[in-house]
Amino acid sequence: MRQQIHDITSTLLRRSHVCKGFLLLLILAYAYYAILLTDGHPTHGEHALVTRPNGGLNLVFDSMAQHLLQGRFDVDPAIVADEGFRVNGSVVAYWGIFFALLRLPLALLPNGFGLDVTRLSMLLAVCLALVIKLETLRVVFYKAVGQPAGVMYWLLASTLALSGPQIEFLKGSVYQEVCLWAGVFGAAFVYLAVTGLLLKGFSTKRFCGLAAIAGLALLSRVSTGIELYAACLLLLLVTYARAITRVLPPLSILILFGCATGFVNDERWGNPLVFADYHVYIYNLYHPDRLQRMADFGLFNITRIPLSLLYYLLPVWVIRNHTADLLLSANYTRLFDFTELPPSSFLLTDALLVGFAAYALRSLILVPPASAIKRAQIAGIAAGLSVGGMLMLTAISMAFRYRIEFYPLLEFCAFLGLYSYLRVPRHATTQHIDWRLVAGAITSIVASHGVLLLYKLSGRSGASLQAAGFFAFYEERMHDLLMKLPDWLYGSVAP
**pLDDT tens-digit map of 53-96:** 888 899 999 999 999 999 999 999 999 988 999 998 899 999 99
**pLDDT tens-digit map of 134-148:** 999 999 998 988 776
End-to-end CA, the chain: 63
* Residue 103 backbone dihedrals phi, psi, to 5 degrees: -95, 0
Query: What is the per-residue pLDDT for 396?
Result: 92
Give the range with max mean pLDDT: 1-5, 24-28, 267-271: 267-271
Q: If you count them, how many residues does the chain have?
A: 495
Query: What is the per-residue pLDDT for 125?
Result: 96
- Is there a contact between 409 and 383 (Cβ–Cβ < 8 Å)? no
CB atoms within 10 A of CB 100: 23
**Mean per-residue pLDDT for 198-221?**
93
Residue 6 has pLDDT above 60, yes or no: no
- Is there a contact between 353 and 162 (Cβ–Cβ < 8 Å)? no
* Residue 85 backbone dihedrals phi, psi, to 5 degrees: -130, 130
The mean pLDDT value of the chain amounts to 86
Query: What is the per-residue pLDDT for 322?
Result: 56
Give the range with max mean pLDDT: 44-53, 78-87, 282-291, 469-478: 78-87
**Mean per-residue pLDDT for 39-46?**
82
Band (183; pLDDT cuts 50, 70, 90): very high
Band (327; pLDDT cuts 50, 70, 90): low
Query: What is the per-residue pLDDT for 478?
Result: 78
Q: Residue 322 gets which letter from DSSP? A: T
Residue 124 has pLDDT above 80, yes or no: yes
Domain ranges of the chain: 57-115, 119-269+346-455, 463-495
Query: What is the per-residue pLDDT for 13?
Result: 38
Pairing of strands 90-92, 85-87: antiparallel
Distance CA 300, CA 335 (A): 10
**Mean per-residue pLDDT for 457-486?**
69
Among 4-18, 266-280, 334-348, which is the least confidently predicted range? 4-18
**pLDDT tens-digit map of 105-122:** 999 998 899 999 999 999
Predicted TM-score of the model (pTM): 0.91
CA angle, 424 then 426 then 427, to 5°:
65
Residue 485 has pLDDT above 70, yes or no: no
250: alpha, beta or left? (left if phi > 0; alpha if psi -120 to 50): alpha
**pLDDT tens-digit map of 293-324:** 999 999 999 999 999 999 999 988 777 765 55
- Is there a contact between 253 and 215 (Cβ–Cβ < 8 Å)? yes
CB atoms within 10 A of CB 409: 24
Q: Residue 343 gets which letter from DSSP? A: P
Residue 245 pairs in a beta bridge with none
Band (9; pLDDT cuts 50, 70, 90): very low
Q: Between residues 91 and 244, which one has the greater pLDDT? A: 91
Residue 386 has pLDDT above 80, yes or no: yes
Query: What is the per-residue pLDDT for 152?
Result: 87
Q: Between residues 11 and 357, which one has the greater pLDDT? A: 357
Among 275-284, 335-344, 431-440, which is the least confidently predicted range? 431-440
- Please tell me the chain's helix, strand, coil percentages from 3-state DSSP, rounded to the nearest 5: 70, 5, 25
Among 130-144, 301-315, 411-425, 463-477, which is the least confidently predicted range? 463-477
Residue 320 pairs in a beta bridge with 326
CA angle, 391 then 358 then 144, to 5°:
115
Query: What is the per-residue pLDDT for 321?
Result: 64
Contacts of 4 (CB under 8 A, 6+ apart): none
Element (H, E) at 181: helix 174-195
Query: What is the per-residue pLDDT for 17?
Result: 47
